[in-house]
Structure 1
């Protein structure tokens, strides 16, 4: 059996097994909700009829419990069998992770539970890598030379956001920023795919190691590096720069620009809301299963609570603590221009709905790195506001590209 066949089969089996195991877990969770509600109902009935309600409750609990257990066990058994024996023949022998739809599905799963997948050694927990046409590239001299026959000395690295892949930059099937920067400014674009469920600092470390290998084996002398990240990708870029600086990695000395597009530098309100909601739902038996589901969210999502970039923000800390400890303030690199794009769904950022919802995912103060209590250090003149626009508009928008041309075309990038 060839390597592509092995890869395809392992991914298909892992996806099937995960789907069935999640069905089993869902059945168990629904069963616990059912049991909690019935306990409360029968407790009320017992107040009226006394011990006469006990036989009915015992019968109800026995039947409903057996039904949920049967569904859960059957699903888990099916998952185990699928994980060992399932195969879906394909004439092309292409792994799901190398197809557009398959990669998007795996990226969504990674964003939700990617840290768990990695700890289990799942083939769905792919390592951070450069991708060309969906295929992961090894950062060795021969592979890079073959993949980038027209490699130039100026590199721009693109980092997608949570539950995304490198394909996200082709929003609307339009030419990507990377393709256009290659034509207009002579940059060579590297499209990175990573498991967005891992801690941001873990992905930052992996990116730092990858860029170290890339700059060592690049076909020509590297002159400059620009990092462009959407949403979580902007945080991964900053984390990688910090880690590389502390480790004295050679590549970081070539960085001239770091650009974040809608990145939650000060945290994302949706994750903050889920953090508190999961604590509140845990207080009642009827909603405890929902709390447990919310608390399964990945380490990467949890890092978005305050925009955590380093290990110290999560190591030896209770992730479910109601009041999260303050995150570390990571200094910017000297001599590097940090640029940012914020957005609001309203035409004016001062509109009440614009202030409340921002771009639908990230608020303007967080994207620009400054509010009443925290200030990242971005210069206002190095920012841009896009309106009206949503969180994903920034992935491929003419106004954003014009700003990228202006920022990356400055003399500092030469």
Structure 2
């Protein structure tokens, strides 16, 4: 599995050989499930759960886990588990199910006014009137917006912090169970945003939503369900990075989730055994087969344009070295010939569709395609940052 993932385009870095210690414990825990005749999800969780806990004894026949996984790695693994099994985790009240929250530095914000003001003050965080909210994608979490320092010495950072300065905004990060249906996450996110705006220490003037992959669909669903009232009326911009508005063929072929599990930061050492579960597909994953749709299977439209709704932007990546030139050559047919970002086709990320009625009405000049950019590279590419700064600059 690791060898197959390593050969997929866009996968960062080389994957190492056999694993030992706690990593090996996680592997053996899940591999034990795949060998069980008629193994169930409950058996998987019973075996995997102790591997995620500090000082746990681990499954029978295996050595005790010496310590918890490092925090970021543990959260990456739990996020992957939620992406694959999250609807089951929530339905069975499993403690590994991720409760939706807005976070900073891996810590959830309290959404009661006095507590929120004190929380911000204790961390020396400002309370500007502009909020930048970032929504992660399938099998990922809020801490994976960060990127490490480059080999050439370029310091690390994260896209939210890099965009916040020019916007005079505070970046906040959604942490969600991506295995739930997108509509459920959209409803929860809309309620969370309403509570945030109500509790914010100063009147909120502007909300900017930035969603990567499934995160863009969750944001669209939330705006649709909020119907322009309350917090949604304050939303000036919705940006979708590599969002599969019309679905992702790799998921339909059964490979997209395996790719994510192997390529996402912090996951490569731990999740090959999960990929062996193969046919397990959460409601969230199933939703990605055809993108964001209404009950009749029609593409859910974008929010109305300003002044009623936000400006909507779509950015797609392609593994090709060149993109169609500006002007008449930038047709749907031209984009359909691009390889996509390794997971989401360019046409899907731009809301284009062979059926006119299914197309999303992104206005001219509010879409872009970046060459040599894979799905996960959209999270930290300097070209992405440059494009978003230009789009979101005050008019």
If the length of structure 2 is used for normalisation, what is the TM-score? 0.72
Structure-to-structure mapping, 1:348-363, within 5 angstroms: 348-349=322-323, 355=337, 357-363=339-345
User: Do residues 409 (structure 1) and 380 (structure 2) align?
Assistant: no
Residue matched to 1:106: 78
Post-superposition offset of 1:410: 2.8
Superposition RMSD on alpha carbons, in Å? Answer: 3.6
Structure-to-structure mapping, 1:175-194, within 5 angstroms: 175-194=157-176
Post-superposition offset of 1:185: 2.4
Query: What secondary structure sits across from 2:365 in the alignment?
Result: helix
Structure 1 residues 137, 98: CA separation in 2 closer, same or farther (over 3 Å shift)?
farther
In structure 1, distance between residues paired with 2:339 and 2:229 = 39
Retained in 1: the 8 A contact 2:323–2:370?
Answer: no
User: Do residues 211 (structure 1) and 187 (structure 2) align?
Assistant: no
In structure 2, distance between residues paired with 1:21 and 1:169 = 29
Post-superposition offset of 1:147: 3.6
| Counterpart among 297, 317, 320 of residue 343 in structure 1 | 317
Bigger Cα displacement from structure 2, 139-148 vs 353-362: 353-362
Query: What secondary structure sits across from 1:28 in the alignment?
Result: coil
User: Do residues 333 (structure 1) and 304 (structure 2) align?
Assistant: yes
Residue matched to 1:251: 231
Residue matched to 2:252: 272
Question: Which has the larger helix fraction?
Answer: 1
Retained in 2: the 8 A contact 1:98–1:133?
Answer: no
User: Do residues 28 (structure 1) and 8 (structure 2) align?
Assistant: no
Post-superposition offset of 1:274: 2.6
Deviations 1:250-281 (A, max 9, x none): 10110110000000001101112239xxxxxx
Structure-to-structure mapping, 1:5-404, within 5 angstroms: 22-23=30-31, 25-29=33-37, 76=43, 79=46, 88=55, 99-148=71-120, 149-173=125-149, 174-245=156-227, 249-274=229-254, 293-308=277-292, 312=295, 326-335=297-306, 336-349=310-323, 355=337, 357-373=339-355, 374-404=358-388
Retained in 1: the 8 A contact 2:76–2:141?
Answer: yes
In structure 2, distance between residues paired with 1:81 and 1:165 = 19
Bigger Cα displacement from structure 2, 187-196 vs 166-175: 166-175
Q: Which has the higher contact order (CA 8 A, sep 6+)?
A: 2
State the aligned residue count.
320
In structure 1, distance between residues paired with 2:290 and 2:48 = 41
Deviations 1:288-337 (A, max 9, x none): xxxx9544211111111111255x36xxxxxxxxxxxx344334234211
Query: What secondary structure sits across from 2:76 in the alignment?
Result: helix
In structure 1, distance between residues paired with 2:366 and 2:244 = 17
Post-superposition offset of 1:151: 1.0
The structure number with the bigger radius of gyration is 1
In structure 1, distance between residues paired with 2:116 and 2:194 = 13
* Regions of 4+ moved over 6 Å: 17-21, 80-83, 95-98, 351-354
In structure 2, distance between residues paired with 1:398 and 1:18 = 35
Unaligned runs of 5+ in 1: 1-16, 33-71, 90-94, 276-291, 314-325
Retained in 2: the 8 A contact 1:171–1:396?
Answer: yes
Query: What secondary structure sits across from 1:265 in the alignment?
Result: coil
In structure 1, distance between residues paired with 2:342 and 2:170 = 32
Retained in 2: the 8 A contact 1:97–1:134?
Answer: no
Query: What secondary structure sits across from 2:207 in the alignment?
Result: strand
In structure 2, distance between residues paired with 1:101 and 1:349 = 35
If the length of structure 1 is used for normalisation, what is the TM-score? 0.69
In structure 2, distance between residues paired with 1:217 and 1:337 = 25
In structure 1, distance between residues paired with 2:382 and 2:312 = 20
Query: What secondary structure sits across from 1:342 in the alignment?
Result: strand
In structure 1, distance between residues paired with 2:176 and 2:168 = 25
Query: What secondary structure sits across from 1:116 in the alignment?
Result: helix
In structure 2, distance between residues paired with 1:222 and 1:119 = 35
Unaligned runs of 5+ in 2: 1-24, 57-66, 150-155, 256-275, 325-332
In structure 2, distance between residues paired with 1:307 and 1:27 = 34
Retained in 1: the 8 A contact 2:318–2:340?
Answer: yes
In structure 2, distance between residues paired with 1:177 and 1:87 = 31
Deviations 1:40-85 (A, max 9, x none): xxxxxxxxxxxxxxxxxxxxxxxxxxxxxxxx79x959948987xx
In structure 2, distance between residues paired with 1:332 and 1:237 = 11
